[in-house]
Chain A
Amino acid sequence: MTLATGTTRLATLQDEPPAASPGGPADPILVVDHLTMRFGGLTAVGDLSFKVGRGDITALIGPNGAGKTTVFNCITGFYKPTEGMIRLSQAGGETYLLERLPGHDVNRLARVARTFQNIRLFPQMTVLENLLVAMHKPLMRASGFSLAGILGLPVYRRAQEEAIAKAAGWIARIGLTHRADEPAGDLPYGDQRRLEIARAMCTDPVLLCLDEPAAGLNPRESADLNTLLRMIRDEYGTSVLLIEHDMSVVMKISDRIVVLDYGIKIADGTPEEIRNDTRVIAAYLGVDDEEVAAVEAEVGLVGTSAGTTA
């Protein structure tokens, strides 16, 4: 779909009431409240509010440049939002305002982990080392901030054994045991993606944010990814927030979907609701360039935006 059609359509549709249920999940782990992010004159995210249910897989979708990654960067402390609040409440009752935490504390204290749209592994370090770096916090404490570790005290050795066992578990789960001691940069693309997810999981997150985990994967790898993400949700109870373009992933595994276009939320609901949401169909879902006109005719939008679909 072209960007031009997106804008105009959005403009014409804003007056209509939202189709999706405005309440959202009852027990949210993450509440994004009136989030706005401006870069100079460009509003990448405009007054966005949504909730991520505890134990859910929530998908954040939208066309290229819709502002999805920007939302992630705000949640994980890489950008300070221009306006708005991002509240994370852990199961134990602790609540953190993520936009106020220093970057690394979003993971260390609030336990939000993420992956990156363009994979960011430590390429020269081995697969195992990549996972051990993710267990920095507990290992650091066990090594007495390096003092006990330098002296080789058993406290640290035991902690390291445990960490290696945990890492080995994840390595086995993503099927990389035979390559555990190789530099992560030497792995094929799909393996790197899964390793990055495993690395994020090694920080014991309550919320896992994945930026296009299926990008560049073949259909079989995509299917494996679905299994992995379901497992993360069901076995670890980790809530997942997911940016994805691949609808075969999104529709199959999401409990809830938020749709962004030009930084503004255009829909929010279950996959069923999203699938049937007229604006989403028109704006985004399953519509190739050639089909735009047909779909628009179907949902009765011809009169308002036919002129812009070229």
Chain B
Amino acid sequence: MATGSTIGAVAPTVGRRSGAAFAEMLKDSALFALVTLGLSIPVVAYRTDLGQGTGLELTGRWGVVAGLCLAVFVLRLGQRLILGEVSRRREAHRIATAGAPPVVARAGRVLGPLTLIVALTLPLLAALGSGGLSEGRYWIDLGILILTYVMLGWGLNIVVGLAGLLDLGYVAFYAVGAYSYALLSTGFGLSFWICLPLAGLFAAAFGVLLGFPVLRLRGDYLAIVTLAFGEIIRLVLINWVDFSGGAAGLSSIPRASFFGIPFTAGEGGFAQTFGLTFNPIHRIIFLYYLILVLALVTNLVTLRMRRLPLGRAWEALREDEIACRSLGIDTTMTKLTAFALGAMFAGFAGSFFAVRQGFVSPESFNFLESAIILAIVVLGGMGSQVGVAIAAIVMVGAPELLRNLSFLKAVFGEGFDPNEYRLLLFGLAMVCMMVWRPRGLISERSPSVRLGGRGA
């Protein structure tokens, strides 16, 4: 009985409160409409036309102004109503599920191995799915593209996700790697397998070079300097024509060979050596597994580093630099190692890029690339390996898939190219993430070591 009367007593209060809330919304929306009116009077209310002679003729458009104000009023009211409802639902949901293990974290644990299995068997799946290896080439190419970004994402994750250093010029190291391979192989005839570690070393060296002066900066300042560094590298590549071929880039870079055996049709080629009929897809599959191995090495090294004192120091640095210093950690050196290691993996990826394309030009290394890689890391959940991989698949794979959805063309007309809307989609994805998962797809941090039940 007592409860019943309490509820009875509460109900009117709630009704009154929501009534007051609605009045508040109306007032707010009216305010918006008023502001619109104020803004539109000088801009919309009069149309100016060239009249007779030198004068201007003013044509009043008060109907349009009224329409605008009304539209803003309705939209604002709708927005308030919907947002209010959404936040109430979310609150209710949060209360209902408080204490339950996070769904996304569990999904992440399953998704990781699943993604790996798909990645390992992709050429087979592509062949089965499209009725032949050559027919599956599109999928394998897409796989290579995605894996390149997965690797770059994992590399940048060391710098941004673990060490907490915002690097907006990551693509510079990618460029250093690509040009290292291009120049070393065309200039000195070195093979890919010698160039690969060299490219990594050069990129790491550039990382240290950049790191020394700038790593005492923090946050925004560091971001700006790294951004500038990325642009400098690109501009040098464009303008130092003798060295880098300028804007035209470098072409006829030696293609990848199977540990010395070229992928050619003739005598001594890969197909003949292994008794296969020649098919250009062999090279593609080789490249696919090459980037898969490179990406997995990046992942393994990162996972290992997290459990080493240096990796823990990176994370500690991200959390509190001053405390690190008080514990005897040389913060500059520690940041530098994170920077160099991240750069090294970009260098590896860069030399893979060059060997795959057979052509490099500064255009491939503009700021947009840095932004995409950073977006992958941020969307994935800073520091989460699985999250970064999934984000790369979504960010790189989704626009590609969109391109193939022919019904979109039927809807939007023949000239519709979804790829042109890629940036719009990025923006949309970013906004959605900020609203629903501000800390990334997978934001749970798994401890690097446990007291109960040893291991990571």
Contact = CB atoms under 8 A, between A and B. Distances in A.
A126 to B, nearest CB: 5
Interface in B304-336: 304-305, 307-310, 312-313, 315-316, 319-320, 322-331
Contact of B326 (A76, A123, A132): A76
A106 B301 CA distance: 31
A120 interface: yes
B297 to A, nearest CB: 11
Nearest to B334: A136
A129 B312 contact: yes
A291 interface: no
Given A150-B301, A168-B451, A140 B325 contact: no
Interface in B415-456: 445, 447-452, 454
Contacts of A136: 309, 312-313, 327-329
A205 to B, nearest CB: 9
Nearest to B327: A134
Interface in A123-178: 123-126, 128-129, 132-137, 139-140, 143, 145-146, 149-150, 152, 156, 160, 164, 167-168, 171, 177
Interface string A103-115: 1111110000110
Nearest to B313: A136
B308 A128 contact: no
A181 B328 CA distance: 24
Given A121-B320, A122-B315, A139-B309, A107 B328 contact: yes
Contacts of A137: 328
Contact of A123 (B305, B319, B450): B319
Contacts of B329: 104, 133, 136
Among A103, A150, A168, the most chain B Cβ lie within 10 Å of the Cβ of A103
A116 interface: yes
Contacts, number: 123
A200 B323 CA distance: 10
B308 A143 contact: yes
A133 B312 contact: yes
A187 interface: no
B451 A129 contact: no
B305 A146 contact: yes
A120 to B, nearest CB: 4
Contact of B331 (A104, A128, A145, A146): A104
A146 B449 contact: no
Interface in A71-120: 76-78, 103-108, 113-114, 116, 120
Contacts of A199: 327
Contact of A180 (B307, B320, B330, B451): B451
Contacts of B325: 77-78, 103-104, 107
Contacts of A238: none
Given A136-B309, A140-B310, A150-B304, A129 B447 contact: yes
Given A128-B451, A136-B329, A180-B451, A122 B308 contact: no
B383 to A, nearest CB: 9
A186 to B, nearest CB: 12
B323 A122 contact: yes
B309 A181 contact: no
A278 interface: no
A180 B312 CA distance: 16
Contacts of A121: 320, 323
Contacts of B326: 76, 78, 107, 113-114, 116, 120, 200
10 contacts: A113-B327, A126-B447, A136-B327, A136-B329, A145-B310, A146-B308, A149-B310, A150-B301, A160-B449, A181-B450
Interface of B: 301, 304-305, 307-310, 312-313, 315-316, 319-320, 322-331, 337, 445, 447-452, 454
Interface of A: 76-78, 103-108, 113-114, 116, 120-126, 128-129, 132-137, 139-140, 143, 145-146, 149-150, 152, 156, 160, 164, 167-168, 171, 177, 180-181, 183, 199-200, 203
